[in-house]
Amino acid sequence: MLVAVLVAVLVAAVIFAMQLAAAQKKEVVWSADEKPLADQIHGLRGLADDVRAGTTKDLALKIRKLPATGNKLRLAVNLAGLSTEGDFGHDTLQEVATTLAETLRERPLPWAEAKSSDAGGGARATRAPAYPYIELATLVRYEHVEASLNNGDEQFRAAMARLEADDRKREHPEFTLKDLSGKAWTFSELRGKVVLVNFWATWCPPCRKEMPDLQTLYGRFGSKGLVVLGISDEEATKVEPFIRERKVSFPVLLDPERKVNEMFVVEGIPKSFVYDREGKLVAQSIDMRTQKQFLEMLGKAGLE
């Protein structure tokens, strides 16, 4: 049942990814104005953070001036997906969100088709917001920017409602997973601790970038009651050497069947969730965080 419900949540992103992949196989033809922007977006992760912030903002403004085409939407969505990998400033995120919103107003997308289970366990057809609307709603809800679409677009409202429903699922999680040494960790047994749950993978560049900061914070606050749980859906044979090489000492739990990933509705990584000593969800991130941003999240749980 859980998998069937998650199908409706994931389908919009999957469909959009398939559309992008299909377009890539057809060798997307960029215009003379679009190609430099596509190349800059592709190279964003190679820039220093201060340079990346200014470049991201500049790209948002330049994309906004392009003609309303499918390529313009592709650029706006790709930029939005990279704009949350760290702390590039609220002004930058606002420009990115404004560009994506304006592009969707110029070129509205149809609803995505989805399938979910009915009360009897059978499949029924439904619809889901197209992925760019979910991307925009994610920026608005979690990065606290502003955006508006035509007459409060129905797809955007549906995307916001879906994110709210996802957050309700994360409020009171209960799970048990084993770490690399075979020790079982049960979430409810950590009551009285501040718990930071981080979903990551060895192949994920933003995950690798934030891991040293998580280790530093664990060393700083571990004696004050902080528990960091790094959750990977990979096999131990991949995770163990990676962790050993980087001298990570906080618990790394294995979720190869993705049951806990599904419980938290994790569709992309890294993602982090902070729970206070009473087990209340007080902060979360949708992407990579800097040490400063993690400190702000932990501060909401009383750690300073």
Q: Work out the pLDDT band at 114, boundaries 50, 70, 90.
A: confident
Model confidence over 174-211: pLDDT tens digits? 999 999 999 999 999 999 999 999 999 999 999 999 99
For residue 39, the tally of other CB atoms under 10 A from its CB is: 10
**Residues spanned by the domain of 54:** 2-168
- Looking at the domain assignment, is residue 149 inside a domain? yes
For residues 67 and 189, state if they share a domain: no
Phi, psi of 34 (to 5 degrees): -80, -35
Task: State which amino acid sits at residue 125.
Answer: A
Positions of E strands within the chain: 112-117, 123-128, 176-178, 184-186, 194-200, 226-232, 252-254, 271-275, 281-285
Question: What average pLDDT does this structure show over 222-242?
Answer: 98
Task: State which amino acid sits at residue 296.
Answer: E
For residues 161 and 204, state if they share a domain: no
Model confidence over 131-169: pLDDT tens digits? 999 999 999 999 999 998 986 699 999 999 999 999 999
For residues 68 and 136, state if they share a domain: yes
- Looking at the domain assignment, is residue 7 inside a domain? yes
Which of 168, 193, 224 represents a domain boundary (last residue)? 168
Percent of all residues in the chain with a pLDDT value above 90, rounded to a whole number: 85
CA 147 to each of CA 138, 165, 232, 296: distance values in angstroms, whole numbers, following the listed order: 11, 20, 33, 24
Residue-level length of the chain = 304
- Looking at the domain assignment, is residue 91 inside a domain? yes
d(CA 253, CA 175): 11
For residues 145 and 9, state if they share a domain: yes
d(CA 126, CA 115): 6
For residues 44 and 183, state if they share a domain: no
Task: State which amino acid sits at residue 48.
Answer: A
For residues 134 and 180, state if they share a domain: no
DSSP state of 194: E
pLDDT-wise least confident of 41-50, 120-129, 207-216: 120-129
Which of 168, 201, 232 represents a domain boundary (last residue)? 168
Instruction: Provide the angle, in degrees to the nearest 10, between the axes of the packed helices 2-25 and 131-143.
Output: 110
Model confidence over 253-274: pLDDT tens digits? 999 999 999 999 999 999 999 9
Which residues, 6 or more positions from 292, have their beta carbon under 8 angstroms from its beta carbon? 87
- Looking at the domain assignment, is residue 200 inside a domain? yes
**Mean pLDDT of the residues in the chain:** 91
Q: Is-contact 169 47, C-beta < 8 A? A: no
pTM of the predicted model, to two decimals?
0.87
Beta 281-285 vs 184-186: how paired, if at all?
unpaired
For residues 71 and 157, state if they share a domain: yes
Cis peptide upstream of residue 129 (ω within 30 degrees of 0): no
Planar angle of CA 186, 188, 192, nearest 5 degrees? 115
For residues 9 and 155, state if they share a domain: yes
Q: What is the pLDDT of residue 122?
A: 60
For residues 201 and 261, state if they share a domain: yes
DSSP state of 69: S
The string of DSSP codes covering 125-171 is: EEEE--HHHHHHHHHHHHH------TTS-HHHHHHHHHHHHHHHHHS
For residues 11 and 92, state if they share a domain: yes
- In the numeric block, which tokens belong to residue 293? 């941003």
For residues 214 and 230, state if they share a domain: yes
Domain count, the chain: 2
